[in-house]
C-alpha cells in the first residue's frame, strides 16, 4: 500500500530532523536520548509508532529540515527554523507531499505532519520527550 510506505518515509524524515538538532540553545532542545511518537489522526486513528533517537550536542547548530541525497525520491522544497519552530515542505514526485511543523521546548517537542498522496490526505501528531543520556542501546542513530 503506497500510503503506508509514504507514512513510514515521513516517519523517517521526522527521525532525521530530530537527529539534526543540537544543544546550542538549552531552551530549544537538550541533547540525549529521545523517544519520538507518531500518532495517526486522519483519516483514521491508528496505533502509535515510537522511535528512539540520539541527539548529539554537535549534530547541528539548530533544528533544520532533513537533508537528502540527490538520488532520494523525496526532497525538501522549502522550510527552516523560526524561533523554536521548525517547519518544512517535502515533495515526493508530482502527486505526494508533506508539511511538517514542530515546536521545541527544551526536553520535549510536539508537532503535526500533514501528508497528501494523490487525493488521499493523512495527518499525524508528533510528540517527543528526552528520556536520558545517549548510550549504545539507542536504536535509531545516524
Q: Give the pLDDT confidence of 22-50 residue by residue, as tens digits.
A: 333 445 778 889 999 999 988 888 899 99
pLDDT single digits (tens) 68-104: 777 777 888 888 888 889 899 998 888 888 999 999 8
The pTM assigned to this predicted structure is 0.69
State the pLDDT at residue 123: 93
Q: For 106-123, write each residue's pLDDT tens digit.
A: 889 999 999 988 888 999
Q: What Å distances lie between residue 41 and 2, 59, 76, 99, CA to CA?
A: 18, 31, 23, 15
pLDDT of residue 58: 61
Amino acid at each position: 500500500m503506497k500510503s503506508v510506505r509514504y507514512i513510514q518515509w515521513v516517519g523517517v524524515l521526522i527521525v532525521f530532523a530530530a537527529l539534526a538538532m543540537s544543544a546550542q540553545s538549552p531552551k530549544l532542545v537538550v541533547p540525549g536520548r529521545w523517544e519520538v511518537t507518531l500518532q495517526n489522526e486522519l483519516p483514521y486513528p491508528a496505533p502509535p509508532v515510537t522511535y528512539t533517537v540520539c541527539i548529539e550536542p554537535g549534530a547541528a547548530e539548530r533544528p533544520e529540515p532533513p537533508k537528502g541525497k540527490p538520488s532520494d525520491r523525496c526532497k525538501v522544497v522549502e522550510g527552516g527554523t523560526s524561533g523554536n519552530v521548525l517547519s518544512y515542505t517535502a515533495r515526493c514526485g508530482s502527486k505526494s507531499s508533506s508539511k511538517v511543523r514542530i515546536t521545541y521546548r527544551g526536553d520535549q517537542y510536539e508537532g503535526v505532519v500533514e501528508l497528501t498522496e494523490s487525493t488521499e490526505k493523512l495527518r499525524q501528531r508528533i510528540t517527543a520527550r528526552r528520556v536520558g543520556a545517549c548510550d549504545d542501546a539507542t536504536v535509531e542513530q545516524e
